Amino acid sequence: MGVCPRPLLLTVALVVSLYIYGKRRHRKRSGGLPYPPGPKPAFLIGNLLQIPRSKQWITYWDWRGTYGDVVGFEAGGTRVLILNSARATVDLMEKRGAIYSDRNQTPMQQEVFGSKIELFSQMNNTPEFSLHRKVVNLGFSITASRDYRPSQEREAHALLGRLLDSPARYSTHLRRTTGAIILRVTYGHEVITDDDDLVKLNEEAIAHNIPIIDPTNFIVNFIPILRFLPSWAPGAGFKEYARISMDYLKKTADIPFKEIKDKVAAGSPPACYVTQLLEENGTITGQADEEKIIKLTASLMYGAGSDTTLVAIKTFLVAMLLYPDVQKQVQKEIDTEIGPDRAPTFADMESLPYLHSCILESLRWKPGAPVGLPHSLAKDDVYEGMFIPKDTVVMANVWGILHDEKMYPDPGRFWPERWDGRFPDAKDPRKFAFGFNRRICPGRHLAFNSFWIVVACIMAVFDVRKVKDAEGREVELDYDYEQAEFFLPWVECDITPRSPAAVALIKSLVSSAAPA
């Protein structure tokens, strides 16, 4: 056995002293109050090894049994708080929203967004953030979102035509529809083919930028000091990745904005988010650079709103496959209220309560953001005798809350009838599925409308069934939907027109939905 080398001894001594110093400092700051309970951290690495790599919401929900509604742990030096009940979530995220609405930046995100963050989705809850949100909240308010309904109807009708022509490509068709709605509503841009340049650019940008969200993905997130390496140095590959990300962010902001500004200059601008806001330019925030705010806010919408809306629609369709009786009930309601001669429009919303229940149930059964988007705490806080330090990353276990048996009996079952008033304590899932307080999803009204019109139109004219094997037996879906990942897999499904009258209706809708 050799003697322990001196540098190693010194390093160990330093680490232990820092650890003890950290503990003492904590005691002083917290006034002796404990952190929220959670799994026991290991020396130095905290709870890194206990954090699941997938379906975290299920593990967090299981931890509730041991640690309670508010669970704390430590990951790579960052304290994380999981809110496992509606009560704790409302208490902190909503009632104390003023301090629970910052965003945490990983070192890789800092590398991409730089020291001057211009995209409000990444900003802390600063006065500048409030200005951006003011613009967005106006552009996507419940009233403004009503003005976008004709665009959504046209896109939904065009979708029916594509589903009739090539039902097996339904995933491509739906993806195009949710993207096309956002681009039409935001920039007045019409998507006419499957290989639209703006869609391609945005999809490439999403594919490139998604890994940046995951804090466990880049070496710099584990060794932040690497940020100071020059970009040519070995191990600095993340810098080139970040540069490409920045390039995508710039292009997705500049290109469509120029397109719509050119239309404005030509005197024929379509009504959309950008043009409506440009008409009020300067009066919304009183800032000289309001046009820049409009441009930057617009650039976020495709990335934030396209896949999320797609997940909601897909969840509904999967539910229709798994629960054919529910599908029949939806169609019966549409047939009775609307009849076979026309497609649903937003004017029918009030008269289709069962469809409304199915939409609520989809958002509850499989929320598209199962742990929401992480918030960060702006200053030290105390909740029910527990100390929560500044910069703690706070996440609501949305999936868990929406599967809480006390509010939603038999939570794994897709059961629209639960919304007919029989469970008065069941909270509307929109209260949780779209986030909280100052950061609540600004596109939620638009998203709900897109979701509604697309599924209402599909159900009016198509049957959606499981595919059959050579013997004519329905092929069971081989997937655990209750424990699903964020993105449900695309399953094969059989989409067929409900009748010859339905085919005729689709054809007539498609001719009137042709690009203007």
497: contact with ligand HEM by CB under 6 A: no
In angstroms, what is the minimal distance from the CB of 284 to ligand HEM? 17
Interface residue with ligand HEM, options 152, 309, 362, 449 (CB under 6 A):
309
308: contact with ligand HEM by CB under 6 A: yes
Task: Enter the tokens of residue 273.
Answer: 């988010």
Is 4 flagged in the annotation as binding? no
Instruction: Give the nearer residue to ligand HEM in terms of CB position, either 117 or 278.
Output: 117
Instruction: Give the nearer residue to ligand HEM in terms of CB position, either 220 or 311.
Output: 311
If one counts every other C-beta atom within 10 angstroms of the C-beta of residue 96, the result is 16
With CB under 6 A as the contact rule, which of the stretches 3-11, 386-394, 416-424, 442-450 interacts with ligand HEM?
442-450
With CB under 6 A as the contact rule, which of the stretches 43-51, 84-92, 419-427, 429-437 interacts with ligand HEM?
429-437
**CA distance linking residue 297 with residue 453, whole number of Å:** 25
**CA distance linking residue 345 with residue 149, whole number of Å:** 9
304: contact with ligand HEM by CB under 6 A: yes
Interface residue with ligand HEM, options 73, 148, 434, 462 (CB under 6 A):
434
Instruction: Give the nearer residue to ligand HEM in terms of CB position, either 245 or 506.
Output: 245
397: contact with ligand HEM by CB under 6 A: no
Instruction: Give the nearer residue to ligand HEM in terms of CB position, either 455 or 493.
Output: 455
Task: Enter the tokens of residue 34.
Answer: 């404990």
**CA distance linking residue 215 with residue 398, whole number of Å:** 20
In angstroms, what is the minimal distance from the CB of 430 to ligand HEM? 9
Write phi, then psi, for 492 (nearest 5 degrees): -65, 135
The burial of 275, by beta-carbon neighbours within 10 Å (0-12 exposed, 13-18 middle, 19 or more buried), is given as middle
The burial of 232, by beta-carbon neighbours within 10 Å (0-12 exposed, 13-18 middle, 19 or more buried), is given as exposed
Interface residue with ligand HEM, options 108, 163, 312, 454 (CB under 6 A):
312
183: contact with ligand HEM by CB under 6 A: no
Closest by CA to 246, choosing from 292, 221, 215, 212, is 212
Write phi, then psi, for 466 (nearest 5 degrees): -65, 150
205: contact with ligand HEM by CB under 6 A: no
Calculate helix-pair angle for 290-299, 127-139, nearest 10 degrees.
70
Interface residue with ligand HEM, options 260, 447, 459, 505 (CB under 6 A):
447
Q: Which residues pair with 466 in a beta bridge?
A: 493
Antiparallel, parallel or unpaired: β 393-396 and 78-83: parallel
Binding mask 364-383 for ligand HEM (x = CB under 6 A): ----xx--xx-x--------
Write phi, then psi, for 427 (nearest 5 degrees): -85, 145
Residues that bind ligand HEM (CB under 6 A): 120-121, 182, 300-301, 304-305, 308-309, 312, 368-369, 372-373, 375, 433-436, 439-443, 446-447, 451
Specify binding-site residues for heme: 441
